[in-house]
């Protein structure tokens, strides 16, 4: 079984979804992507998660992020489940859910963990950059719903640090101070970060978020 690691190219695939057939890389285009998996349709925690993503859809769109879910049930089942999600979560699911009945994509992305469950996909999340490389992987236990505020925070960090020579510190949120990368020499900081900086240690230099 393949293991998908940070920096790997996200495996490409063709699949049927609740919004028709897609080729994954082609569907992503130049966007960022979030692929998140579910053990089965009509599961309670996942119902709340899909509803949350639907309600957060404008936030993902604002960040040029396409979201797509995966479940090992078929399209007809997905369409019935979507009705439940829309009703119970007071929303409209407006993103595709992949039908992975043969678990081909689950195997491709290493979503079957035998010690957790012999047959069900674990609840994984992959953030994928426009370069089609894996930027984040997270796997949650079945009993814990995913935190989509955290995923948006990570996307904000990834998009910021892709453009500037910075990293984001613990508990950082959009608008907070950031860490200047150690690769930037002190003498080059003024040109790169005209808002100024604080030198706490030679290796720890903070500056206001450069794109705010």
Which residues are catalytic, by number? 46
DSSP SS3 for 97: strand
Measured in whole angstroms, the distance separating CA 122 from the mean position of its chain's CA atoms is 15
Which two structure tokens, joined as six digits, stand for 58?
A: 């404008």
Query: Which of 140, 109, 137 has the alpha carbon at shortest distance from 43?
Result: 140
Torsion of CA 77, 121, 29, 57, to 10 degrees: 70
Q: Cα(10)–Cα(24) distance, rounded to whole angstroms? A: 9
Instruction: Note whether 129 and 135 are within 8 A (CB).
Output: yes
């Amino acid at each position: 079984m393949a293991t998908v690691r940070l920096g790997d190219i996200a495996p490409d695939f063709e699949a049927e979804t609740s919004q028709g057939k897609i080729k994954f890389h082609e569907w992503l285009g130049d966007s960022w992507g979030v692929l998140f998996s579910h053990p089965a349709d009509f599961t309670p925690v996942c119902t709340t998660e899909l509803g949350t993503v639907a309600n957060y859809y404008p936030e993902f769109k604002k960040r040029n992020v396409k979201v797509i879910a995966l479940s090992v049930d078929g399209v007809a089942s997905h369409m019935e489940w979507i009705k439940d999600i829309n009703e119970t979560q007071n929303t409209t699911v407006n993103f595709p859910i992949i039908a992975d009945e043969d678990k081909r994509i689950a195997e491709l992305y290493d979503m079957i963990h035998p010690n957790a469950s012999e047959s069900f996909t674990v609840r994984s999340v992959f953030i994928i950059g426009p370069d089609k490389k894996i930027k984040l992987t997270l796997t949650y236990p079945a009993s814990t719903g995913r935190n989509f505020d955290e995923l948006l925070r990570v996307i904000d960090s990834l998009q910021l640090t892709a453009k500037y020579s910075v990293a984001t510190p613990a508990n950082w949120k959009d608008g907070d101070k950031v860490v200047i990368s150690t690769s930037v020499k002190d003498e080059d900081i003024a040109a790169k970060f005209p808002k100024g900086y604080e030198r706490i240690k030679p290796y720890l230099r903070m500056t206001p978020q450069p794109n705010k």
